[in-house]
Structure 1
Amino acid sequence: MMRFFKILFWFFRGVRVYALVGSTGTGKSFRAKLVAQKYGIEMIIDDGLLIRGDQLIAGKSAKKEALYLGAVKTALFHDKAHRDEVAKALQRERFRKILVIGTSEKMVQRICERLQIPQPNKTIKIEDIATKAEIEKAMQSRQVEGKHVIPVPALEIRRNYPSIFYDSVRVFLRRSFGTGASLPKIYEKAVVRPEYTKRGRVAISEAALSQMVVHCVDEYDPAVKVKRLAIRDDTQGYRITVVLEVPFGTKLASNAHALQEFIVDNIERFTGILVAEVNIVIDRLTSRRTSSKNRQRERL
C-alpha cells in the first residue's frame, strides 16, 4: 500500500526517471552532464550520491569505501540510513527529471525501488552516446590508471572527499539557441582514485558462492536437490545457472520465479555482490520426495 502512495506522489509531481546504463568503466559518469543537458534533467544519482547541478545534495560516495564490497553496497543504497537520507532529499527537492546511473538495467531498477522513485521512463545505453573508441579509452583509464569520474566540480570533491581527489577535467560543449549562433558551455568533472582501488578488489570465490546457492535452494525447499551449478562473473554481475532434481509432485515449476528472487535477494543481502541473473533448469523429476536427513547422507 505504501508503495502505491509513493507512485501516486511522484505521478502528481510529474517526475520522469531516466537511466544511463553501461558496463563498469565505460565513461557513464563522464557523460552524465551531457545527457542531463540534452534531456533537461535536473538531478543525477551516481554511485551513492544525489547531485543537482554542481552540488552534492545528499548521500555518500561509493568511491570513499575502503573495500570494493562496501562500494557496491553504497552504490545500491544498501544501508538504511544512507537510503533514507537520499530518499528524504528527493522528496524535499523540486524537480521534474532525474537521471539514475548504473551498470545494468536491473541495478537501476533496484536503486529506484530502494529510493522509492518510479522505474525509468527511458533507458539510455552508453553505446548510444559514445563511440567504441571512446568507450575503450575510458576502460583503459579505469583498468590501467584506476581513475574514476564524479560529475561535479573539483571544488565539491575537495571539500567533501579530499582523500580521493586526483584531478579535474573540463568538457566544452556548444549549445545552439535556434538563432544560428551557439554559446560554449563548460562542464567541470572531478577525477578521483577510490580508496578500494588502493587496497585491491575484493571478490567472492566460486566455491563460496556455490555453497550459498545450494544453501538457498535447501532452505527454500529441502526436497529439491542441486545437481550442477555454473557461475560466470562479468562486468554487470554474477550470472548463475542452477540445474535441479525435483521430486514428482513438487510444484516448483510454478514457483521458479520465486526461487530465483529468493536466491538473488539472499546472496546480494549477505555478500553485497550484484547478481545479474539466475537461471533455473529442472533436469529431471524423481519418484519420491527425499528427506533432508537422506540428502545429507547422499552428500557424504
Structure 2
Amino acid sequence: MKVFSLSGPSGTGKSTSALVFAHKIGVEAIIDDGLLIVNGMKVAGVSAKFEKNTITAVRRAIFTEEAHREEVMKALTTNNVQSILLIGTSDKMTKNIAQRLELGPIATFYYVEDIRTQKEIQKARFIRQTQGKHVMPIPYRQVEQNFFKRLVQKGKDIFTPKREKIGETTIVRPDFQQEYIEIEKQVYVQLLSFCCNQQDIVQKVEHIQFTLGEQAKATISLQLKMPIDYVLPRRLHQLQEAVQQSFFQHFGYELDAINLFVHCALPKKK
C-alpha cells in the first residue's frame, strides 16, 4: 500500500481540501479523524468530531480503541485499498496512525501549506475561532441520521477541474468545540462603513452587503464628494486597499472581493 501524510495545525482547512488533494495525487482512500473514506464515501470508523471532549477525540483519531482499529483495518482489506492519505496535526500523529493500522512506512509527507494558500489558511482559522465549525469530507446523508442533535449542515459538492464529482463535505460543530467567539454580521458592516467614511473622498456610505462563506465579499455603494479633481480609479483602488488593511487588522484574514459602486457625487457638506 502507498501511504501518504498530510499534516497541519487544527482549523487550517485540511479536511476541506482533502478530497481534491487526494484525487490530485491519485490516492483512493483517506483517514481523517477516525474515519476511513474511500472514493469520497465513509466505509468504516467513527469520527473523532463527535466525541465529548478533546482527550477522547484525540484517542479516537489515533485509533487507541481496539474495536475501532480492527473495524478500519478489516475495511481496508475488504475494499482492497492500495493507496491512502493520513490526515493529522503533525508528522508524529500520522506516523502513529500508520503504525496502529499496520499500514507500513509513510512514503511522502505533505503539509497544509503545500495545498492551501496563506489566505485560505487564515480564513479557515477565523471561521474555526468565530463559528466553531468543522468540516467532514463525507456526504451529509452519512452523518445526519446519527448526529441530528448537533449542528450539522450540508457543505459542498467537490469536483475535479473537469467537473467530475469526487465527493461532498458536511459541516458540524463538535461537542468539545465549546470556545469560540461569535461575531454578528453587523460588526463587519460597521467596520466597513467606518473605514470608508474615514476617506476624504467619501460623502456618504449608502449601502453595504457583506457575505462570509466560500468567498468573503464586501459590496459597498458610495456617494463621493465634489469636485472630483483627481484620478478616480486610483483613489477608489486606494479605498479598497484601506478597507482590506483594516479588515485584516481586525479579523486576521483578507476579503476575496471588495466591490465599490459609486452612486453619485455631491458637493462637500459645509
Pairwise CA distance, 1:169: 2.1
1:65-122 Cα deviation digits (max 9, x unpaired): 1111110110111111111111121122212211110000010000000011112111
**Residue 90 of structure 1: SS of its match in structure 2?**
helix
Task: Indicate the residue corresponding to 1:109 in structure 2.
Answer: 95
Percent same amino acid at aligned positions?
A: 41
Of residues 104-113 and 187-196 in structure 1, the stretch that sits farther from structure 2 once superposed is 187-196
Q: 2:169 aligns with which of 185, 189, 202?
A: 189
Per the TM alignment, residue 35 of structure 1 is displaced from its structure 2 partner at its CA by: 0.8
Deviations 1:166-222 (A, max 9, x none): 2122255452xxxxxx44546420000001124x69xxxxxxxxxxxxxxxxxxxxx
Q: Which residue of 2 aligns with 1:49?
A: 35
Does 1:134 pair with 2:144?
no
Distance 1:186 1:107, change over 3 A: closer
Change (3 A) 1:49 1:164: farther
Runs of at least 4 residues off by over 3 Å: 171-174, 182-187
Structure 2: which amino acid aligns with 1:90? L
Pairing partner for 2:64 from 78, 99, 111: 78
Does the CA-based 8 Å contact 1:157-1:165 persist in structure 2? no
Asked whether the equivalents of residues 16 and 97 of structure 1 are also in contact (C-alpha less than 8 Å), the reply is yes
Shift of 1:145: 0.8
Equivalent residue for 2:156? 170
**How far off is 1:124 after superposition?**
1.3
Q: Distance in 2 between matches of 1:75 and 1:123?
A: 18
Query: Counterparts in 2 of 1:95-244, with a 5 A limit?
Result: 95-171=81-157, 173-175=159-161, 182-183=162-163, 185=165, 187-198=167-178
CA contact (8 A) 1:158 1:165 kept: no
Supply the distance in 2 between the matched residues of 1:17 and 1:82 (Cα, whole angstroms).
20
Which residue identity lines up with residue 29 of structure 2 in the other structure? M
Q: Which amino acid aligns with 2:138?
A: V
2:39 and 2:167 in contact (8 A); partners too: no
Name the SS for the 1:117 alignment partner: coil
| Helix, strand or coil at the partner of 1:36 | helix
The 1:160/1:97 distance shift into structure 2, 3 A limit, reads farther
CA contact (8 A) 1:170 1:186 kept: no
1:93/1:183 CA distance change after superposition, 3 Å: closer
Structure holding more helix per residue? 1
Given the superposition, is the C-alpha separation of residues 113 and 141 from structure 1 closer, same or farther in structure 2, using an over 3 Å criterion?
A: same
Tell me, in whole angstroms, the C-alpha distance in 1 between the residues paired with 2:88 and 2:73. Answer: 17
Distance 2:132 2:107 in 1: 33
Which letter does structure 1 place at the counterpart of 2:58?
V
**Letter of the aligned partner of 2:2 in structure 1?**
R
Residues matched between the structures, number: 180
Distance 1:122 1:67, change over 3 A: same
SS at match of 1:158: coil
Provide structure 1 residue ranges, at least 5 long, that are not aligned to the other structure. Answer: 1-14, 176-181, 202-300
Q: CA RMSD in A?
A: 1.9
Which residue type is aligned with residue 61 of structure 1?
S
CA distance in 1, matches of 2:62, 2:160: 34
The equivalent of 1:65 in structure 2 is 51
**In 2 relative to 1, CA 146–115 (structure 1 residues): closer, same or farther, beyond 3 Å?**
same
Determine the structure 2 residue equivalent to 1:11.
Answer: none
Letter in 2 for 1:166: V
